[in-house]
Structure 1
Amino acid sequence: MKLAFWRSRIQHRCFSTAHARPAARPADFTHAVIGAGVVGLAVARRLALRSGGSVVLLERNHAVGTEISSRNSEVIHAGIYYGAHSLKTRLCIRGKHLLYDYCQKNSIPHKRIGKWIVAQNAEQQETLDKLNAVCRDILNVPTNWISEAEARTLEPDVKASAGALESPTTGIIDSHSLMMSLLADFESAGGTLALRSRVSDASRLHDTGWEILVCDESNQEFLVKVDTVINAAGLGAAFVHNLVLPTERHIQLYYAKGNYFSYNASRPKVARLIYPAPEPGHGGLGTHLTLDLAGRIRFGPDVEWSDTPESLDVNSAKLPDAVLEIQKYLPGIDTMALNPDYAGMRPKLARNSAMIQGQGFTDFVIRKEEGLQDWVNLLGIESPGLTSSLAIAEMVEDLLYN
């Protein structure tokens, strides 16, 4: 449904906030999903298919997926980092299978390229041995141990002094093609996309459902009545959450900026993704080597805490630190061929929170809020959010309908 049409449809049902509200009016939509990143798109698509299209997807930007979803490593994760019983693990593993299947059926460019997590000393080897055991004995996630000698034969430019843990089900994906496909499914099912539509307030109705105050690019306001709301606003999820919860239940997000650096030399050459061994308490997975679908190398992200989610300029001053990290596993890198590329932002529920199970680890939060059974919050959705997106959509549907 086109934006102009839905606004004309809403306008005749809306009213100025200066006037008295009618006692009751029919809902404009069954569901409102706030945020059109890859997770919001996946949720909106699934609910539109379920509800016969009575879903509005509200996005504050001029296009879908312009924030977290377009500024990441575009990796399909295997689900090996996050601990045996975490929501991240469950949704990542389920999401990985759903995503590969969806890509195959919808001709989304992707490649099951595989990944090595490399160890340089006995302590890192022990960490990877524990990960390997959890994957084998509990998670049923395929992993293989690669000896130092085998690693040197397969990837002569990669340093893995104590071996490497191989993840053969890790892949890469064209996230933009994925989002366009999810959007096409959503609109084909009758869903309504509203771009440049910023949520500025939300009110619980006495009868049932919610009224959402939406502000467009010209600061004109619209009131939209819906039965249920899904907060998938990503970097803005705390703001939306705090609109409807009492002060004592407000949350704060912490923003971990990640700088990426491109590489334009032909050597060293690698055939798979290369990650350093995880460090407990670290805010990310380390400055790793990723490949795009054309085989081009880039490195990142690092972790740089930011006071604002809008700070997305690449910090060139971080390049020397990145070089030191990269040389630990790729000593032959031509440092002159590294250039600032882009930066992404990760919303975290605690400062210095880790993405790997261990000290400082914070899980996804996906829940109905107490006393608000028709409102679902998705909070702290960072990596592996892309991989988990279709599984998160399943979970939201389950929360609303079962």
Structure 2
Amino acid sequence: MSFKLLPVSCATKAAARYFSTSRSRQADFTHAVIGAGVVGLAIARQLAAHECTSTILIERHGSVGTETSSRNSEVIHAGLYYGHGSLKTKLCLKGKNMMYELCSKQGIPHRNTKKWIIAQDDQQLSELHRVHEFATSIDVPTRFLAREYIAQREPDVRAEAGVLESESTGIIDSHSFMSYLEGDFLEKGGDCAFHTAVTRIEPIDSGKGGYTIYTGNADGGEDSIEVETLINSAGLFACAISNMVLPKERHRKAYYAKGSYYSYSASHPKPKTLLYPAPVPGLGGLGTHLTLDMTGRVRFGPDVEWIDDPNDLKPNPSRLTEAIDMIQTYLPSVKRDAIDLDYCGIRPKIGKSGATAGKNFQDFVIQQEDGFPGFINLLAIESPGLTSSLAIGEMVEDLLYR
């Protein structure tokens, strides 16, 4: 039984050729990356650059980046919230610089918009001071703004207690970025297999490495390939993939934080800067903030709604009033009837964790799993995953080769 050959635009002939129910003694690929979101793309592109290797990118959907990677704020984060020593801080700082450099070199649409974090009372202002102190300690530029400057640049913003500006925050066209990564991966000799859902994974030689990846086919059966190394970058379904490989006592439960985004149809107010309310410790997100796309269109979000179904992408109308109330705390002249439901994104979690460093903070999990040589597991890759993606690619390369 052979793997159904997809159009060349969906899976290269080289990738399709290797999928079959028969096994060979030699691995079909040196690397398999499961999940073609922005992080999976960055990893696959990084690995494909190695000589005398072969890398396949496996994706259950028909194209790259159709889940979390295309349903977010498209913000290039500065790295302000994740605390000392965390992977999120380390990879966000490195990834931000790599992203700005790559986008400038390759003409990928992006813009350094800056970001304002806004306080309305003394408690919120103390949070801004905490963020500023942390930013200073990691050499990320932030500054408190004078009231005259605030009124001049963004006259519609309400900031009773103060504003902290993040100078290195920006925005990116995530679809153009992923399109570049995919093209560069293919130019380096990588192979893509779309419409390919992984059904099970078996270690070939316990303790020595190698994996057989089984995928469903159109006939209701299974096809398989053998690979030397396995990288789990499946995003919302990363726990499911991990649990296929690891023993039951090491299984993880997935949690899903749904974030609704809201459109704005009025022409005023129209800020030029990203606007964020002061962070609330323990909150699953960073509050319903204002972001811009590359055309200057205003959108708000995301909020946080814990759900059980990772396929639940329908905006919840009951969230709208609460979101508008929060937006009006920092943008009081916003027209309530011009704000409406837009789209949703879901953040993969391994607990009901907060977005900022503290008691409930959940860091990225990126590790070589003990007892399973060549198996790199990536779990809870949420924000700032987009910003960190290029740095994550290098980290996975280091785990495998250095």
- Given the superposition, is the C-alpha separation of residues 220 and 105 from structure 1 closer, same or farther in structure 2, using an over 3 Å criterion? farther
Question: Equivalents in 2 of 1:312, 1:380: separation in Å?
Answer: 19
| 1:6-47 deviation digits (Å, cap 9, x = unpaired) | 3652256x32xxxxxx7x611111000000000000000000
Query: How high is the TM-score relative to the length of structure 2?
Result: 0.95
Match of 2:297 in 1: 296
Residue identity matched to 1:308: D
Please state if 1:98 is matched with 2:98: yes
Residue identity matched to 2:342: D
Match of 1:276 in 2: 277
What's the secondary structure of 1:57's corresponding residue?
strand
Match of 1:18 in 2: none
Structure 2: which 5+ residue stretches go unaligned?
1-6
Question: Equivalents in 2 of 1:61, 1:5: separation in Å?
Answer: 18
Match of 1:134 in 2: 134
Question: Equivalents in 1 of 2:25, 2:42: separation in Å?
Answer: 29
Match of 2:201 in 1: 202
| 1:191-214 deviation digits (Å, cap 9, x = unpaired) | 000001111111111264111001
Residue identity matched to 1:304: E
- Given the superposition, is the C-alpha separation of residues 8 and 311 from structure 1 closer, same or farther in structure 2, using an over 3 Å criterion? closer
Match of 1:237 in 2: 238
Residue identity matched to 1:248: E
What's the secondary structure of 2:383's corresponding residue?
coil
- Given the superposition, is the C-alpha separation of residues 341 and 399 from structure 1 closer, same or farther in structure 2, using an over 3 Å criterion? same
| 1:32-88 deviation digits (Å, cap 9, x = unpaired) | 000000000000000001245600000001111000000000000000111121110
Match of 1:86 in 2: 86
State the Cα distance separating 1:5 from its structure 2 match. 2.1
- Given the superposition, is the C-alpha separation of residues 8 and 74 from structure 1 closer, same or farther in structure 2, using an over 3 Å criterion? closer
What's the secondary structure of 1:225's corresponding residue?
strand
Match of 2:351 in 1: 350
Match of 2:3 in 1: none
Question: Equivalents in 1 of 2:211, 2:375: separation in Å?
Answer: 9
Question: Equivalents in 1 of 2:358, 2:146: separation in Å?
Answer: 26
Question: Equivalents in 2 of 1:62, 1:218: separation in Å?
Answer: 18
Structure 1: which 5+ residue stretches go unaligned?
16-21
Match of 1:19 in 2: none
Residue identity matched to 2:73: S
What's the secondary structure of 1:313's corresponding residue?
coil
Question: Equivalents in 2 of 1:127, 1:317: separation in Å?
Answer: 29
Please give the residue correspondences for 1:32-47 in structure 2 after superposition, counting only pairs within 5 Å: 32-47=32-47
Question: Equivalents in 2 of 1:55, 1:219: separation in Å?
Answer: 26
Please state if 1:159 is matched with 2:150: no
| 1:134-188 deviation digits (Å, cap 9, x = unpaired) | 111x200011111344322321100111111101110000000000000000000
Match of 2:266 in 1: 265
Please state if 1:55 is matched with 2:55: yes
- Given the superposition, is the C-alpha separation of residues 205 and 139 from structure 1 closer, same or farther in structure 2, using an over 3 Å criterion? same
Question: Equivalents in 1 of 2:361, 2:209: separation in Å?
Answer: 37
- Would the aligned equivalents of 1:151 and 1:163 in 2 still touch at CA under 8 Å? no
Match of 2:14 in 1: 6
What's the secondary structure of 2:330's corresponding residue?
coil
What's the secondary structure of 1:323's corresponding residue?
helix
Match of 1:393 in 2: 393
Please give the residue correspondences for 1:247-396 in structure 2 after superposition, counting only pairs within 5 Å: 247-351=248-352, 353-396=353-396
Question: Equivalents in 1 of 2:343, 2:117: separation in Å?
Answer: 24
State the Cα distance separating 1:349 from its structure 2 match. 1.3
What's the secondary structure of 1:144's corresponding residue?
strand
- Would the aligned equivalents of 1:152 and 1:159 in 2 still touch at CA under 8 Å? no
State the Cα distance separating 1:215 from its structure 2 match. 1.7
Question: Equivalents in 2 of 1:354, 1:5: separation in Å?
Answer: 44
Question: Equivalents in 2 of 1:85, 1:254: separation in Å?
Answer: 24
State the Cα distance separating 1:358 from its structure 2 match. 1.4
State the Cα distance separating 1:4 from its structure 2 match. 6.2
Residue identity matched to 2:79: G
- Given the superposition, is the C-alpha separation of residues 241 and 8 from structure 1 closer, same or farther in structure 2, using an over 3 Å criterion? closer
Question: Equivalents in 2 of 1:126, 1:217: separation in Å?
Answer: 58
- Would the aligned equivalents of 1:260 and 1:298 in 2 still touch at CA under 8 Å? yes
Please state if 1:145 is matched with 2:153: no
Residue identity matched to 1:145: F
Question: Equivalents in 2 of 1:225, 1:348: separation in Å?
Answer: 29
- Would the aligned equivalents of 2:15 and 2:56 in 1 still touch at CA under 8 Å? no
| 1:341-368 deviation digits (Å, cap 9, x = unpaired) | 10000011112x1111113110000001
What's the secondary structure of 1:373's corresponding residue?
coil
Question: Equivalents in 1 of 2:351, 2:16: separation in Å?
Answer: 42
- Would the aligned equivalents of 1:53 and 1:189 in 2 still touch at CA under 8 Å? no
Match of 1:68 in 2: 68
- Given the superposition, is the C-alpha separation of residues 51 and 345 from structure 1 closer, same or farther in structure 2, using an over 3 Å criterion? farther
- Given the superposition, is the C-alpha separation of residues 281 and 330 from structure 1 closer, same or farther in structure 2, using an over 3 Å criterion? same
Aligned residue pair count: 392
